[in-house]
């Protein structure tokens, strides 16, 4: 059985959503995210699987074949293995084949399970007035504890980065606290749809969430159209198992503004699939 397939430039343009009239650069690689849901039986085998993302039929078939062959550690409830389901997010990477510059191989770059989804608008973060007056931006990474009803019952700062350097660390800390207070106040008004259930019962989760504060231009767009620079702040103390989960999987760097990632999913693959070609 072949461990990978190669795809032509035209197929990869469709994979990446690139118009067919544009020829990709010789060094170009492509990536995309495929979202879905997976169910497992008490033995940890995939019993059902579906995609919510739209993929080309050829790519979708390869993803389907790969996922249906995964095996998970059995999930226990009161000491016995049970059925379970969870949200699935696969990041796919298409690399140009070394032997043939017109073909690509597709592999799995990362896999995440159980990401909660915002179910209500709630209260948006208020931009601190003092920070807005000096046009200072920030990126706040929050740790959320979401109960089994989807309510945010606790929000803690993990790391806050400022959009500019300050005169001193004392000033920087004061600015970071302003942004953190605004983020926490808003997050505590939010509710989420829980995407992971065990034996038919939805379970709460810890989640990592970035909130970006960025000044808008008079035209209504972002003040900068390309690179955004941040001055990273210190990492706050968190329970060791949660901090390890964040750092080991490089979760923070892959999340978009307002996108949450579950940190304590019960789903654990027996074999690592990251880096493997489809």
- For the stretch 96-105, pLDDT in tens is 766 656 677 8
Binning pLDDT at 50, 70 and 90, where does residue 26 land? low
Within this chain, do residues 133 and 212 fall inside the same structural domain, yes or no? yes
**Final residue of a domain: which of 97, 113, 129?**
113
Within this chain, do residues 140 and 178 fall inside the same structural domain, yes or no? yes
Within this chain, do residues 151 and 52 fall inside the same structural domain, yes or no? no
Identify the pLDDT of residue 248.
Answer: 67
Q: Which residue stretches of 17-165 are H helix?
A: 57-68, 129-133
Instruction: Give the total number of structural domains in the chain.
Output: 2
Within this chain, do residues 130 and 88 fall inside the same structural domain, yes or no? no
252 or 53: whose pLDDT is higher?
53
Within this chain, do residues 150 and 209 fall inside the same structural domain, yes or no? yes
The b/e string for 144-178 (b: 16+ C-beta within 10 A; e otherwise) is: bbbeeebebeebbbbbbbbbeeeeeeeebeebbeb
Write the pLDDT tens digit of every residue in 7-16.
Answer: 554 554 455 5
Residue 151 in any domain: the answer is: yes
Burial class (CB within 10 angstroms; exposed 0-12, middle 13-18, buried 19+) of 89: buried
CB 43 within 8 A of CB 35: no
Residue 272 in any domain: the answer is: no
| Mean pLDDT score across all residues of the chain | 85
Within this chain, do residues 174 and 96 fall inside the same structural domain, yes or no? no
How far is 152 from 204, CA to CA, in rounded Å? Answer: 10
Residues 148-159 have a mean pLDDT of 95
11 or 78: whose pLDDT is higher?
78
Identify the pLDDT of residue 41.
Answer: 98
Within this chain, do residues 141 and 108 fall inside the same structural domain, yes or no? no
CATH number at residue 134: 3.30.2420.10
Is residue 164 predicted with pLDDT exceeding 50?
yes
**Final residue of a domain: which of 86, 113, 140?**
113
182 or 251: whose pLDDT is higher?
182
Give the structural domain span for 242.
117-259
Residues 58-65 have a mean pLDDT of 90
CB 274 within 8 A of CB 108: yes
Identify the pLDDT of residue 19.
Answer: 40
Identify the pLDDT of residue 11.
Answer: 54
Identify the pLDDT of residue 9.
Answer: 46
Binning pLDDT at 50, 70 and 90, where does residue 28 land? low
Within this chain, do residues 139 and 77 fall inside the same structural domain, yes or no? no
Identify the pLDDT of residue 185.
Answer: 96
Residue 266 in any domain: the answer is: no
Residues 103-117 have a mean pLDDT of 90
**Final residue of a domain: which of 89, 113, 137?**
113
The pair of structure tokens assigned to 226 is 């390309």
The pair of structure tokens assigned to 26 is 């010789």
276 or 221: whose pLDDT is higher?
276
Residues 66-83 have a mean pLDDT of 96
Identify the pLDDT of residue 3.
Answer: 36
Residue 47 in any domain: the answer is: yes
Identify the pLDDT of residue 241.
Answer: 78
Within this chain, do residues 109 and 121 fall inside the same structural domain, yes or no? no
Residue 230 in any domain: the answer is: yes
Residue 127 in any domain: the answer is: yes
Percentage of residues in the chain having pLDDT higher than 90: 62
Within this chain, do residues 169 and 255 fall inside the same structural domain, yes or no? yes
pTM of the model: 0.80
Within this chain, do residues 74 and 109 fall inside the same structural domain, yes or no? yes
Within this chain, do residues 222 and 124 fall inside the same structural domain, yes or no? yes
Residue 28 in any domain: the answer is: yes
Residue 213 in any domain: the answer is: yes
245 or 147: whose pLDDT is higher?
147
Identify the pLDDT of residue 7.
Answer: 53
Is residue 247 predicted with pLDDT exceeding 90?
no
């Amino acid at each position: 059985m072949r461990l990978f397939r190669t795809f032509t430039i035209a197929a990869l343009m469709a994979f990446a959503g690139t118009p067919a009239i544009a020829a990709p650069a010789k060094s170009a690689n492509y990536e995309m995210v495929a979202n879905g849901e997976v169910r497992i039986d008490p033995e940890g085998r995939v019993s059902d699987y579906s995609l919510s993302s739209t993929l080309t039929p050829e790519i979708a078939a390869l993803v389907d074949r790969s996922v249906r062959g995964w095996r998970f550690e059995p999930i226990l409830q009161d000491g016995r293995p049970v059925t379970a389901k969870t949200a699935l997010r696969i990041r796919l990477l298409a690399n140009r084949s070394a032997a043939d510059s017109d073909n690509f191989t597709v592999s799995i770059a990362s896999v995440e399970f159980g990401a909660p989804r915002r179910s209500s608008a709630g209260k948006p973060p208020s931009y601190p007035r003092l920070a807005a007056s000096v046009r200072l931006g920030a990126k706040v990474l929050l740790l959320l504890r979401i109960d089994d009803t989807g309510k945010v019952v606790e929000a803690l700062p993990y790391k806050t980065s400022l959009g500019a350097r300050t005169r001193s660390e004392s000033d920087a800390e004061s600015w970071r606290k302003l942004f953190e207070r605004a983020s926490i106040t808003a997050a505590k008004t939010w509710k989420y749809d829980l995407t992971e259930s065990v034996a038919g019962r939805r379970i709460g989760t810890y989640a990592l969430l970035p909130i970006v504060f960025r000044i808008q231009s008079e035209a209504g767009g972002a003040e900068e159209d390309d690179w955004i620079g941040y001055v990273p702040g210190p990492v706050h103390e968190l329970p060791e198992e949660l901090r390890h989960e964040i750092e080991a999987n490089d979760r923070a760097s892959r999340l978009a503004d307002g996108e949450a990632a579950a940190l304590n999913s019960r789903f654990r693959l027996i074999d690592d699939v990251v880096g493997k070609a489809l």
